[in-house]
């Protein structure tokens, strides 16, 4: 480990903080991160990415940047989603290592120091894993559990405690930025890129102010989106249905023919109706699944940018 051990105090850490309608949090977050990193004498910059907020988030970022020269800001032309914001921040970051954390201090900034020290010891990807999931409703927990078990299957990595709180070495970040797909799932892709990885546990904190951006609908969309971008399993379900129905068809066919030739074919109107309904709905369902993947291909081939930046605050240090 000592071969690539770095000298403490020289290597800059970029902290990427995506922010959407977080006006109440910007100053607190900037101050807290500043205090903690300065105390540990970690050279740093903060990159706030304002993801098309509808409140005064950008003004707050401007204020924070005037107060503290380590604060930089990116302003999106509209809301592009957290993954886009994370990507933009990483592309903008100038540090030797790059951390991503939430604006609401649910990811404890003290953990950044732990991650940074591990990076100094030569680790290239340091994943924050949730020691506990914080306060969530029962339904939310249930859905999260199902979602993560599917996604863990698809990626082959245990995702149940994964989070977006991570620190990456510059080399890993560059590889990450090279990924061509439009639909990025940061949580899983950071482990997909590989490199020397380790894990740091943290306790999810209560959100200090503002509210969570996730409605039930957006969570379902997030889940479906990420499952389909990481796995073709839903398409295989279609094939599976096909096989099951084929077997069923052969058996029923043999039975019907037998009945017919033995002279007591029943007037099976109910059977016909039931079969029609069943086959019809399975067909529609399958078409829907295939359609969903085609829509994803359509989205990807359009090659639109992941985000559009309309303003930049860059400190001139």
For ligand UDP, the closer CB: 206 or 317: 206
Spatial distance between the Cα atoms of 131 and 161, rounded to a whole number of angstroms:
7
Spatial distance between the Cα atoms of 31 and 208, rounded to a whole number of angstroms:
14
In the block, tokens 């404890």 appear at 108
Query: DSSP characters for 172-186?
Result: HHHHHHH---SS--H
Spatial distance between the Cα atoms of 185 and 260, rounded to a whole number of angstroms:
56
Q: Do residues 36 and 109 make contact, with C-beta atoms less than 8 angstroms apart?
A: yes
Q: Kindly state the smallest distance separating residue 210's Cβ from Mg ion, in Å.
A: 9
Q: Kindly state the smallest distance separating residue 238's Cβ from ligand UDP, in Å.
A: 32
Q: How many CA atoms lie within 13 A of 129 on its CB side?
A: 15
**Binding of ligand UDP at residue 102 (CB under 6 A)?**
yes
Strands 97-100 and 162-169, sheet pairing? antiparallel
Query: Of 213, 235, 282, 286, which one interacts with ligand UDP (CB under 6 A)?
Result: 213
Q: Kindly state the smallest distance separating residue 116's Cβ from ligand UDP, in Å.
A: 20
**Binding of ligand UDP at residue 82 (CB under 6 A)?**
yes
**The tokens of 115 are what?**
């991650």
**Binding of ligand UDP at residue 296 (CB under 6 A)?**
no
**Binding of ligand UDP at residue 214 (CB under 6 A)?**
yes
Query: Of 23, 34, 51, 104, which one interacts with Mg ion (CB under 5 A)?
Result: 104
Residues in 114-173 at the binding interface with ligand UDP, rule: CB under 6 A: none
Q: Which residues of 217-244 are buried (b: 16+ CB within 10 A; e: fewer)?
A: eebeebbebbbbbbeeebeeebeeeeee
Q: Do residues 23 and 64 make contact, with C-beta atoms less than 8 angstroms apart?
A: no
For ligand UDP, the closer CB: 131 or 283: 131
Spatial distance between the Cα atoms of 115 and 126, rounded to a whole number of angstroms:
6
Q: How far is CA 216 from CA 53, 140, 222, 223, 277, in A?
A: 20, 8, 10, 11, 31
Q: Which does 118 bind (CB under 5 to 8 A by kind): ligand UDP, Mg ion, none?
A: none
For Mg ion, the closer CB: 215 or 270: 215
Spatial distance between the Cα atoms of 39 and 37, rounded to a whole number of angstroms:
5
For ligand UDP, the closer CB: 117 or 213: 213
Helices and strands, number each (H, E), in the chain: 10, 8
For Mg ion, the closer CB: 122 or 210: 210
For Mg ion, the closer CB: 136 or 311: 136
**Binding of Mg ion at residue 29 (CB under 5 A)?**
no
Total of residues contacting ligand UDP (CB under 6 A): 16
**The tokens of 30 are what?**
């900037």
**Binding of ligand UDP at residue 19 (CB under 6 A)?**
yes
Total of residues contacting Mg ion (CB under 5 A): 3
**Binding of ligand UDP at residue 239 (CB under 6 A)?**
no
**Binding of ligand UDP at residue 34 (CB under 6 A)?**
no
In the block, tokens 């082959």 appear at 156
For ligand UDP, the closer CB: 51 or 127: 51
Q: Kindly state the smallest distance separating residue 96's Cβ from ligand UDP, in Å.
A: 24
Query: Of 62, 104, 120, 127, which one interacts with ligand UDP (CB under 6 A)?
Result: 104
Please count the other Cβ atoms lying within 10 Å of the Cβ belonging to residue 24: 18
Query: Of 22, 23, 45, 127, which one interacts with ligand UDP (CB under 6 A)?
Result: 22
The site for Mg ion (CB under 5 A) is made up of 102, 104, 106
The site for ligand UDP (CB under 6 A) is made up of 18-20, 22, 51, 79, 81-82, 85, 102-104, 106, 212-214
């Amino acid at each position: 480990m000592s071969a690539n051990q770095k000298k403490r105090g020289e290597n800059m850490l970029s902290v990427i903080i995506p922010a959407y309608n977080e006006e109440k949090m910007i100053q607190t977050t900037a101050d807290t991160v500043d205090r903690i990193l300065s105390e540990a004498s970690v050279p740093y910059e903060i990159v706030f990415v304002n993801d098309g907020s509808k409140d005064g988030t950008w003004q707050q970022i401007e204020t924070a940047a005037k107060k503290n020269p380590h604060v930089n800001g990116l302003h999106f032309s509209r809301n592009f989603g957290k993954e886009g914001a994370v990507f933009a921040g990483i592309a903008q970051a100038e540090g030797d290592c790059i951390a991503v954390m939430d604006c609401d201090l649910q990811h404890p900034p003290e953990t950044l120091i732990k991650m940074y020290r591990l990076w100094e010891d030569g680790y290239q990807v340091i994943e924050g894993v949730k020691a506990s999931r914080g306060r969530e409703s029962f339904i939310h927990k249930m859905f999260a559990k199902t979602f993560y078990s599917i996604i863990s299957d698809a990626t082959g990595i245990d995702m149940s405690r994964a989070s977006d709180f991570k620190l990456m070495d510059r080399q890993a970040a560059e590889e990450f930025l090279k990924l061509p797909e439009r639909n990025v799932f940061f949580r899983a892709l950071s482990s997909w890129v590989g490199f020397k990885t380790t894990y740091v546990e943290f306790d999810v904190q209560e959100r200090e102010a503002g509210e969570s951006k996730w409605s039930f609908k957006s969570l379902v969309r997030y889940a479906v989106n990420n499952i389909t971008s990481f796995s073709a399993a839903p398409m295989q379900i279609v094939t599976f249905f096909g096989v099951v129905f084929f077997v069923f068809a052969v058996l029923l066919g043999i039975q019907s023919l037998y009945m017919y030739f033995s002279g007591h074919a029943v007037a099976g109107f109910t059977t016909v109706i039931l079969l029609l309904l069943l086959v019809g709905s399975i067909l529609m369902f399958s078409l829907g699944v295939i359609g969903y993947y085609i829509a994803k291909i359509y989205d990807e081939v359009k090659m639109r940018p992941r985000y559009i930046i309309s303003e930049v605050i860059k400190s001139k240090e």
